[in-house]
Amino acid sequence: MTSIRSICCNDFLEITRMSMDQLTTLGIEGIGFSPLNTSLCYMAVHSNYFLVAVSPGHRFKGYSTACIREGINNQKRCEITGTICPYGDLMETFIKTIEENADKIDKVNHLEIWTNGEHCVKLLEQLGLLAKAKGLKVIKYSRKTCQENIIRQLDHSKSGAAEATTIRGVKNWIRSASSW
């Protein structure tokens, strides 16, 4: 049985260079940051949300990074910024574990998952998560949120730049999110 736990320094020996190159943290590695540097920063600052999956033979199976951000009116949100794992059920377990930690530790208002891979998009849709905003190769998914918060974000967003979501799409998303 695979166990999920917080990352420790020895786990970096198990993370291969190939999997480190796949880590996409909101696109900042294109600006000149190395993925290892980004991962070390996440490990130091958000250690409760940098998780690894380890099999019984201490074989490394995947990892996930997340961080806590403050939004409008000091409302906290948890952003899952990278999940590297070959199995869909493992990704679902990462999401649930991070969501539980965020609710217990930081009392977040909603969870956001940032992804840009087509296979991740299909998997997240199968898990029941709905796209909130699409743009710049990043699709933002949310599990729970407040209706007023979404409307405020739309009022404060620039027209068409940061969020390419139409009002009709957000209203449909709010309707489906309220059934969770």
Q: What angle do CA 118, 121, 127 make, to 5 degrees?
A: 145
CA 170 to the chain's CA centroid = 20
Q: Which of 90-94, 134-138, 153-157, 161-165 has the lowest mean pLDDT?
A: 161-165
More confident residue, 99 or 143: 99
* Bridging pattern class, strands 51-54 and 110-115: unpaired
Please provide the size of the chain in residues.
180
**44: Cα within 13 Å, side-chain hemisphere:** 6
> Exposed, middle or buried: residue 71 (CB in 10 Å: 0-12, 13-18, 19+)?
middle
Find out whether 130 and 114 touch, Cβ atoms under 8 Å.
no
Q: Report pLDDT digits (tens) over 70-104.
A: 877 778 888 887 777 777 788 888 888 988 888 88
Q: What angle do CA 28, 146, 41 make, to 5 degrees?
A: 25
Find out whether 50 and 43 touch, Cβ atoms under 8 Å.
yes
Domain 3-141 in CATH: superfamily? Answer: Gcn5-related N-acetyltransferase (GNAT) (3.40.630.30)
Domain boundaries, given as residue ranges, for the chain: 3-141, 144-179
Residue 16 pLDDT level (bands cut at 50, 70, 90): low
- Whether the per-residue pLDDT at 158 is higher than 50: the answer is no
Radius of gyration over every alpha carbon of the chain, rounded to an integer in angstroms: 16
